[in-house]
Amino acid sequence: MAKKNDIIVVTDPGVDDAIALMYAIFSEEFNIKLLCIAGGNGSIENTTNNALFLMELFKYDVPIAVGLNHPLKREAVFATKAQGKGGLGGYKVNPKKLKTKPIETPACDAMYETLKKSRKKLTIVAIGPMTCVAEMLIKYPDSTKNIKEIIFMGGTKEKIYGRPYREFNISFDPECVDVVIKSGVPLVMVPMELGHFAYLNKNDIKFVKHINKIGKIFAKMFKKYRDFHVGSYGAAVHDVCALYYLTRPENMKMEQGHVELKYYKTEEEEFGYIDTSYDQEPNATICVDMDILKFKYDLFDAFEETGKILNNKK
């Protein structure tokens, strides 16, 4: 077996986060050292409960550290319209049935401790708002020495009707994004549109539903998951693309470009976004396309592995 990727995952589960975590565990190509929970797809209470539920469902033992419920400098506006009231679409988690608890150390400090204890540099994969990453970089500037790279799902290269698009992970806490970009750590940007290229259509969802018990649970989540770009065609799976970059970079197309946080302001709205350009010194690898058929094959393979592995853990 190929050498596994040692990673810290920043997540705000989230239907597409749940799929990404499933892929990370059952592709068997990762050692997840720590889960850092962010507010975003729901309140920090809901996203933490969702993370605990998923790790219990997947029978995966990993420390779960809780971050802030709000961005660095602004009030939280959660994505419940897309992800459902509890964050996992049509699936409701009952907190009273959870058997595990998060660790007491806050996400910012737990991330730093995990990096310092590691014998080698670790990769941070951020599939939710990066508030705790920025917190750590501010509080522990020496942490950059222990980070191999930061891969983040967020932003978009596309413009809608000539104006920037308000992508959620970036606009939820743009100030933290600015800290991360300016940190000097190698960056990989996995923009929003990859999840729209790689969405699961209705036939894919039917296939997943009949794979095993885990597939049935995800099919239930999909019922109330509303990605406004994909709409009724299926379910976008943005976050798993960030992990797929680590396992199958040969199936993705990348470019070297310059990323910078900027703000769009009118009388009606104000939000942060990532501006990408190619006429300045590159500071990031930007994923621009992927082989959709190979991606789905690998994703479905991970779904099928859930049944085999979980049966062995009984």
Is the N-terminal amide bond of 14 cis, ω within 30° of 0?
yes
- Cα distances (Å, whole numbers) of residue 240 to 23, 144, 153, 181, 299: 7, 25, 9, 21, 9
The continuous run of DSSP H or E covering 35 comes out as: strand 30-37
Mean pLDDT to the nearest integer, 110-121? 97
Q: Is the pTM of this model over 0.85?
A: yes
* pLDDT, tens digit (0-9, with 9 covering 90-100), for 56-97: 999 999 999 999 999 999 999 998 776 777 778 878 899 999
**Burial annotation 82-97 (CB, 10 A radius, 16+ → b, else e):** bbbebbbbebebeeee
Annotated active-site residue in 196, 229, 238, 258: 238
Confirm whether 210 is a catalytic residue.
no
3-state secondary structure of 51: helix
pLDDT band, residue 255 (cuts 50/70/90) = very high
Walk me through the domains of the chain, giving residue ranges and CATH numbers: 5-312 (3.90.245.10)
| CA atoms of 271 and 77, how far apart (whole Å) | 12
pLDDT band, residue 231 (cuts 50/70/90) = low
Higher-confidence position of 314 and 191: 191
Residue type, 93: V
Q: Which pLDDT score, from 0 to 100, does residue 198 have?
A: 82
pLDDT band, residue 176 (cuts 50/70/90) = very high
Report the candidate in 64, 97, 60, 99 with the shortest Cα–Cα distance to residue 310: 60
Q: What percent of the chain has pLDDT over 70?
A: 94
